[in-house]
Structure 1
């Protein structure tokens, strides 16, 4: 009873000092009005149409307002924007969402400190505008998908005293141009503190550390969230549907839709639309070549095989001699967590050959990159060459005290960075040059009415989508609602609470690692997976064990698979609620298993195929084809 006579301040102090749970409980009950009530966990499954229902809707719809071709960041972002403005939107992607460049980024939501430096030295307003635009959009990403996008401090190690004021002013300018959207203020560390934060660096050479803040995010999961959000807003969104021909008006030549083929069944679909959008990223020239053809068909020489050695290894060419896109290959590698501090990234502001190199904590590992290798053609599946991997490792060794080993590389991949230029003003002499390159994105409408959006980067996807739909409304003469995508919450972000990890762990008795993984991958929809865990304990197992009838007997099993939290329950969830159709969809994009550890992902192929085969009623031939395709693809990821 004595505690009841204490003042609130004394009671709180006593509680904290003693760690008394009873006193805390009493205080909570007495001052309930002063404690924020947490958002209750909900395991309500979204009412999403099945893939079959979406196909039927696409086939039966007489005419859509807009057809978006391409299911990457910009394409799905445009679908969300169009649907939320009241347009009847269809989207088709020939492979899976984020199967191209959108899953192979540096995972940074950033303004670009290197562009700010260029803006300063080149007195370029265009470069500065690019930075300011990206800084604003960075804030919108953190707002619309807080479970997928987090603030990440990044330290620039300084090895010369004269660089200290230079980098310090640069970081402060970066904060300044972010304005009210600034995440956190940049600051300077002493050499001693910097070496404590990053003990892997050579402290004998270190003079200081400059820390600024950007965003880090999960790119392919963001892409999946955009696709699901678009469907929930009424859009008809389908992966594995390939455009085979642009439909044109016989009299005017205006693009009026497309013929497409469902790659699962081979069925042809006629999609009529008032406006068609080309959002195919590095493959934009492929659609433009179809647009230039009177019959809307692709050129016969599009698909070739090339071996360019350094930048692609026997890759099948998707677009030969592109006019609009100037492709450049960026290679990234993934390393164990001891190569970088767990809570702060490192930026090598200037490598030996003048490039910028990142070493970032990501998904419990370290992401290092990137290279910038010019290419003449656009490969269908770019791969990281050994020379590119060694290049990154060599640069990393300049800063790391312990030996940098090739066997530490857990995964490596290449993505195509699509720099763009206006193909309408390009002469044949300019095709092989960098003449007319646009550092930002590029949007235009051809004489046939085809709207093309290309270039840019993940951080600015939302603004690119907004401008694209603005153009669609103009071309189609639509009456539409204002854009709302700056504030709209993506799938999994509705009702998000910063304490969601703790709430999930408490409610379902999860480890902190599993709770963090689910909350930061699926957001407020992760309780659906947890209910699957409760319903069947087998769903808690790693996907490596998929298809084992007796889970109590693990013969010839690599128990390293338990180090990764990717479960059978997640796989079943992704099939039902995220349109996962192949083993690679799950291993590479709905989860990041193959990107984080290609060897372990390779070991999980059989289990993944077994579960998917049962869920999707695959026959033996389909299961074997999936095993082969997934295994061969993962083997190209640096292993």
Structure 2
């Protein structure tokens, strides 16, 4: 992807479809539409997956909670949601096997009856999934459960094992956008829609402001599709001020603990909490993510931050399930996201449906893809682009179900061994490159051959290479420190201290590629380190004040 060239395309071309928002649904819709042969523009006011789509629990799932509610309330809508999620679960993994894989989860139970109840429910979950590639669950006795997850509490009676999927959400969205770009879409991040022009009340063009240069241009398109998640109402009202709000935002946060908290490849599902939520403790890289919460959130002008009471809630929730109880000193990072729940008559956000809707405003012509969740992004995108085809009077069938994303086709993790021999890189580095870039990993490794300095690691205890930063700038439209540290890598999510410490090294590499002045480079570092300091202070953790600017 080349941002400068794509910006020029926005200036010069007329598009069939302009998609606003480059998260899961927007990037997914851009790929779907481009593969159908439509002329597509994809813009986002921030980075690709810069908001909700990079801050999920990293699970691809049908929804165990939805299944329980569907059975208890005889709710066919929730049962249908589970079925769609489980069907899409295997597609998400198939199309990007380097970024997604099955994940075993254990649910500790404290009585024979509780174990039977969970076993029956999760057996039904497997039955609905059908004959996919996922292993089937089972009911384990205490000794069997401890052999798989040795840090579980000894007071449990037994544990129920089942499988769902895990993925790298930010890089998955990036792979969707990158794949759309290669299919012909013009993808531009840091491009904010500030208004529309109209012809007979119908949207004719979007006014798009370049957040990096300050330039504003007019982008012409036949159809505009709003995929801005929790921010959807702002675009809807920009297109038609008479519309009623449809989104009820909900905040969910996670805390990050050391890998030793679980010391296992097995995640934990905590099915019962003080307020009726479901909480997960999930191994992700060298950390454990614990979450999530679910509370109304109204301040959409500010990023949702981890608060002290949320830290306490998640620690209190996970403690009864572990032999060694984590405390505040163990928390190494955290992150918050906003769910785009569709307004309904239900009483609270824990019971609001997260299914999706494609809304067509007949007056302005704006399409809005509302609600949904990561697992079903492809179906959401397909439904939206079907409506685009109807408005264009140019219908073509979607082909995304079997379309490999960037890095996914012919992917074999074992190829890291060949890469190690070819480029003389450490084994753990080659494994990291394969899991991050898939069959494009050799593109990164080749940079180390062209410039041996790029073969150096940024830090001894992580596999990140200098070459990756160069690749991310040249090929993955990374233009800020946070693009790299939070989304191209997931370091900000897992270790606030280390992310702040590595900022100067990453800034130097980006500066050489992007032509930053010394003042610009210093400002990037200072801004990012101040952000991390704010995160830590707001969460009630002690920031380290010795981060260097160089």
Q: TM-score range by the shorter chain?
A: over 0.9
Partner of 1:211: 161
Shift in Å at residue 432 of structure 1?
A: 10
Partner of 2:523: 625
Partner of 1:318: none
1:77-156 mapped onto 2 (5 Å cutoff): 77-156=28-107
Partner of 1:166: 117
Give, in whole Å, the separation in 2 of the partners of 1:435 and 1:519: 37
Shift in Å at residue 635 of structure 1?
A: 2.8
Equivalent residue in structure 2 for 1:180, among 118, 131, 143: 131
Equivalent residue in structure 2 for 1:272, among 220, 225, 234: 220
Give, in whole Å, the separation in 1 of the partners of 2:310 and 2:350: 26
- Could you list the runs of 5+ residues in structure 2 that have no partner in the other structure? 542-550
Shift in Å at residue 409 of structure 1?
A: 1.1
Give, in whole Å, the separation in 1 of the partners of 2:456 and 2:78: 49
Partner of 1:56: 8
Is the Cα contact below 8 Å between 1:144 and 1:487 reproduced in 2? yes
Give the 3-state SS of the residue equivalent to 2:10 in structure 1: helix
Partner of 1:44: none
Is the Cα contact below 8 Å between 1:383 and 1:636 reproduced in 2? no
1:250-329 mapped onto 2 (5 Å cutoff): 252-293=200-241, 323-329=245-251
1:187-586 mapped onto 2 (5 Å cutoff): 187-203=138-154, 205-249=155-199, 252-293=200-241, 323-421=245-343, 438-447=353-362, 448-478=364-394, 480-543=395-458, 561-586=459-484
Shift in Å at residue 162 of structure 1?
A: 0.7
Spell out, residue by residue over 1:391-422, the C-alpha distance to the aligned partner (whole angstroms, 9 max, x if none). 11111221222231212111111100111138
Give, in whole Å, the separation in 1 of the partners of 2:74 and 2:438: 42
Give, in whole Å, the separation in 2 of the partners of 1:208 and 1:438: 32
Greater Cα offset, 523-532 or 75-84 = 523-532
Is the Cα contact below 8 Å between 1:257 and 1:275 reproduced in 2? no
Is the Cα contact below 8 Å between 2:196 and 2:238 reproduced in 1? yes
Is the Cα contact below 8 Å between 2:23 and 2:50 reproduced in 1? yes
The two structures have a TM-score, normalised by structure 1, of 0.81
- Could you list the runs of 5+ residues in structure 1 that have no partner in the other structure? 1-47, 297-321, 423-429, 544-560
Give, in whole Å, the separation in 2 of the partners of 1:420 and 1:267: 34
Give the 3-state SS of the residue equivalent to 1:214 in structure 2: strand
Give, in whole Å, the separation in 2 of the partners of 1:117 and 1:515: 42
Partner of 1:34: none
Partner of 1:33: none
Shift in Å at residue 620 of structure 1?
A: 2.7
Spell out, residue by residue over 1:39-75, the C-alpha distance to the aligned partner (whole angstroms, 9 max, x if none). xxxxxxxxx5x221111111111x2000000010100
Give, in whole Å, the separation in 2 of the partners of 1:217 and 1:434: 25
Give, in whole Å, the separation in 2 of the partners of 1:92 and 1:439: 24
Give the 3-state SS of the residue equivalent to 2:400 in structure 1: coil
1:9-88 mapped onto 2 (5 Å cutoff): 48=1, 50-61=2-13, 63-88=14-39
Is the Cα contact below 8 Å between 1:175 and 1:182 reproduced in 2? no
Shift in Å at residue 489 of structure 1?
A: 0.6
Is the Cα contact below 8 Å between 1:504 and 1:519 reproduced in 2? no
Give, in whole Å, the separation in 1 of the partners of 2:300 and 2:372: 17
Give the 3-state SS of the residue equivalent to 2:131 in structure 1: helix
Greater Cα offset, 391-400 or 576-585 = 391-400
Give, in whole Å, the separation in 2 of the partners of 1:434 and 1:218: 25
Shift in Å at residue 535 of structure 1?
A: 2.9
Give the 3-state SS of the residue equivalent to 1:604 in structure 2: helix
Shift in Å at residue 244 of structure 1?
A: 0.8
Give, in whole Å, the separation in 1 of the partners of 2:346 and 2:118: 38
Is the Cα contact below 8 Å between 2:78 and 2:353 reproduced in 1? no
Is the Cα contact below 8 Å between 2:334 and 2:493 reproduced in 1? yes
Give, in whole Å, the separation in 2 of the partners of 1:518 and 1:210: 34
Aligned residues, how many? Answer: 536
Give, in whole Å, the separation in 2 of the partners of 1:569 and 1:193: 43
The two structures have a TM-score, normalised by structure 2, of 0.94
Greater Cα offset, 480-489 or 627-636 = 627-636
Shift in Å at residue 434 of structure 1?
A: 7.1
The structure-2 alpha-carbon separation of the partners of 1:178 and 1:517, relative to structure 1 and needing over 3 Å to count, comes to same
Is the Cα contact below 8 Å between 1:323 and 1:431 reproduced in 2? no
Partner of 2:544: none
Is the Cα contact below 8 Å between 1:331 and 1:370 reproduced in 2? yes
Spell out, residue by residue over 1:183-206, the C-alpha distance to the aligned partner (whole angstroms, 9 max, x if none). 111112111111222221221x11
Partner of 1:41: none
The answer as to 2:515 corresponding to 1:593 is no
Spell out, residue by residue over 1:434-492, the C-alpha distance to the aligned partner (whole angstroms, 9 max, x if none). 799543112110021100002111111111000010011112222x4321101101011
Shift in Å at residue 517 of structure 1?
A: 1.0
> Runs of at least 4 residues of structure 1 off by over 6 A?
430-436
Is the Cα contact below 8 Å between 1:328 and 1:373 reproduced in 2? yes
Shift in Å at residue 378 of structure 1?
A: 2.2
The structure-2 alpha-carbon separation of the partners of 1:350 and 1:434, relative to structure 1 and needing over 3 Å to count, comes to closer
Is the Cα contact below 8 Å between 2:170 and 2:488 reproduced in 1? yes
